[in-house]
Structure 1
Amino acid sequence: MSTQTSPLPTTLNPDGKSLYNASSGVKSSAYEQFPPPFNPNRNGFDFHVYYRQEDENEKQFARELHEKVRREFPELRVYKFWEKPVGPHPTAMFEINTFSPHETGALFSWLAVNRGPCSVLIHPNTDDPYKDHTELYTWMGKAWTLKTDILKQLLKH
């Protein structure tokens, strides 16, 4: 966040709704690197794509989505296609990791229009995995209740 203390303008842009911001000529470093408290030794975000394993149509859609993600984003780390719940996740899923703000934005926008019936849990990776999954997360689609007791157990070890 900027440390400048001069007042921001209240002038509206030509659309009559949004506020005019004069360019400083320098973009935020958050476009290039994740800010604290991200853990610099981990990937920035996890995207967990959930599907209902008992619904064969949804399972097939998720399997095809998994393949599409791998083809569209070969530079990202994509995990195996789980056909059952694993860890704190209450339903079957697969996971995708992003390593930069640009990758995160690209995957987010792509999944927003391509995820179909699947839900997506998106969370950062800081030094507090419990908080990452319970406070700092966001969802696309239906929100699922995580098995937070498993997360608590992982933190004890």
Structure 2
Amino acid sequence: MADPSLYTYTSPLKGWRGGEPLSDEKITEGPDAKSYVNPTPTTRSSTYASFADPITNGTRAGFDVHIYFMQSVPYEVTFATELWERIRREFPELRIYRVWDRPLGPHPIAMFEVNLHTPEQFGAFVPWLVINRGPLSALVHPNTGDDVRDHTQRATWMGQPIPLAVGFLREILQKQEAEKAGSKASGES
């Protein structure tokens, strides 16, 4: 995980200040008892239709889901390959990559990846995976263009977190920055 003090955070109330005061009234009966009475909605949040900025809304998925398994444990290998097939059959609209039987990039053990492009896909797939992932761990992270932060501070884990090789991501970023600086120095745009 990342040290939260490495990052800055915009106030959650940015753009929402100055509204009517919220009521302290609580619902007293029924399944919503003890919850607060909220303002009557006038419009739905835009995040029902597209991911919140700065999460990608385009050809690169808004969220990646990495599903990990121990490649040396036959039961986990079998479970992972069966889960991979089930996801492809039940969620054919999702982009799913091959099952890697070894570490790849910052991922220190075997895994496969599923991409989620819409809040609707996220809302359907993530709860399904909570129930169906069995003994496997899964990393759910947004794609905002900040790969290190996305894989650490903004990451959500199901099951046991797997320590990622975050240094690998930092090396890629440094290489990209050096290439950009070299291009600018040579007069390329």
- TM-score of the alignment, normalized to the shorter chain, above 0.5: yes
**d(CA) in 1 for partners of 2:23, 2:68:** 43
Q: Name the structure 2 match of 1:68.
A: 86
- Render the CA deviation track for 1:3-37: whole Å, top value 9, x for unaligned: 35211112222243211213313110001001111
**d(CA) in 2 for partners of 1:50, 1:18:** 38
Supply the RMSD in Å over aligned alpha carbons.
1.4
Q: Which of 15, 19, 38 is the equivalent residue of 1:21?
A: 38
Shift of 1:111: 0.2
Moved more, 134-143 or 19-28: 19-28
Map 1:141-156; keep pairs closer than 5 Å.
141-156=159-174
Aligned AA (2:163): T
Q: Which of 23, 37, 51 is the equivalent residue of 1:9?
A: 23
**d(CA) in 1 for partners of 2:151, 2:80:** 22
Q: Name the structure 2 match of 1:45.
A: 63
Mark the runs of 5 or more structure 2 residues left unpaired by the alignment: 1-12, 177-189
Q: Which of 50, 53, 69 is the equivalent residue of 1:36?
A: 53
Aligned AA (2:45): S
Aligned AA (1:7): P
Identity %: 45
Q: Name the structure 2 match of 1:139.
A: 157
Aligned AA (1:5): G
**d(CA) in 2 for partners of 1:154, 1:117:** 31
Mark the runs of 5 or more structure 1 residues left unpaired by the alignment: none
- Other structure's SS at 2:67 match: strand
- Other structure's SS at 1:93 match: strand
- Render the CA deviation track for 1:95-143: whole Å, top value 9, x for unaligned: 0000011111111100000000000000000021111011100000000
Give every structure 1 segment of 4 or more consecutive aligned residues whose post-TM-superposition deviation is greater than 3 Å.
Answer: none
Q: Name the structure 2 match of 1:121.
A: 139
Moved more, 10-19 or 42-51: 10-19
Aligned AA (1:20): V
Contact (CA 8 Å) 2:94, 2:116: kept in 1 or not? yes
**d(CA) in 2 for partners of 1:105, 1:68:** 18
**d(CA) in 1 for partners of 2:91, 2:24:** 41
**d(CA) in 1 for partners of 2:79, 2:165:** 25
Aligned AA (1:30): T
**d(CA) in 2 for partners of 1:17, 1:69:** 38
* Paired residue total: 157
